[in-house]
Structure 1
Amino acid sequence: MRLLLVEDSARLRELVGETIRGAGWRLDAVGGVADAQAALASTHYDLVLLDLGLPDGDGLDLVRGLRRSRSSTPVLVLTARGAVDERIAGLDAGADDYLTKPFNNGELLARARALLRRAPVSADPVLEAGALRFDPATQEARCGEEVIALAPRERATLEILLRNAGRVTPKRGLEETLSEYDEEISPNAIEVLMSRLRRRLAPYPTRTAIETVRGVGYLLRETEG
């Protein structure tokens, strides 16, 4: 799952970011309408967390633009505008839910989960190679019946490798996919991440191997034993 947070307060972006990433979701965070429009134009998001009072426009205009373009991406409004008529205006503009500041982080996550459950269900199949299985819907990795504990970025990396199982995944493509909006991940960080993922999988008989294809990228392939 990849979420977009549109919030002009750097401190709140940081705090909400910690909560969202701690739940295992990827998050891009921007501070205004223009940056949000650019992010939405270039990336698919499963949920938008949206402040309304932004420095370069009103968040409701962003919601209206999404709905005019027939986007069904759920929008959870996070705002200090708590009056009943303001909440009604937000919902009528096309927002899916409304949470007034200050809010409890647990409630934020619960509302986000509810909206993600309501979103159109993807026909994404469970990804498999050898004895290794990954369910994109639950973000759960298993070897046989055993659950493999992975950090959020490790899960995202494994999903990409499994989608390309038997084919080389270019390193540059990994960098772009794993980067958060406006915050690039370095080639060295990819190498460290891959090394960590191999260590996580090593105790399990997955019958797979992650190989480095020098100068190109990485290959997840099935092994004999």
Structure 2
Amino acid sequence: MEIKVASVDSVIIYFGDKIDKDIAKKVKNAYLCLKKVNLDGVIEIVPSYTSILITYDIFTYDYETIKNILEDTINLDNKIEDNSKLITIDVYYGVEVGLDLQSMSEKTGLSIEQIIKIHSDKTYDVYAIGFLPGFGYLASVDESIALPRLSTPRKSIPKGSVAIANTQTAVYPQASPGGWNIVGRTAFEFFDKSLQTLSPISVGDRVKFNPISKEQFLKQGGVL
């Protein structure tokens, strides 16, 4: 664990430098520890794949003080109560909504049916929330379908689009520009203003995608 200055009112705690299950466990454990302690003067705690960004009140702490407190507070060996949950997301993987399924098939040499099965067979960990409220970065995608972002991003990705970029997968919680490979669409609401966290998914949760038919998708309120 290494703590470095990020800005005048923030520090970053580094636990590693790659997407890794063991590193993710350290990030999750430290995040849960900090949330439980609920330090006065800490404004925001933002976890990612390998680090945690801490924003704090500069009238409460200086860098050395917050660094010492964090080092004393975080014990990666302690077992913190884990309230994470498994969330099943119904997805329609039809080619009319899976905008990149055909090109992915050509690039990987896999059939569209194989791509869908590979993507939906895995259970993904929520490593971070960012880019948009409710946009969860999920990993890790099987290497056989892990493709880089599009060379030319689209000006608008429809809300609910399920996407892949390298070894990450995600769902666009609202329409927005984007360059990820689109494989399907869901009617599941990832952005909920009634929730304090603005989303039903949180860092540490797990997500499983469940293939459904077009008819089921439309009955759930899905839009083509």
State TM-score, norm by structure 1: 0.26
State TM-score, norm by structure 2: 0.26
Task: Select the structure that is richer in helix.
Answer: 1
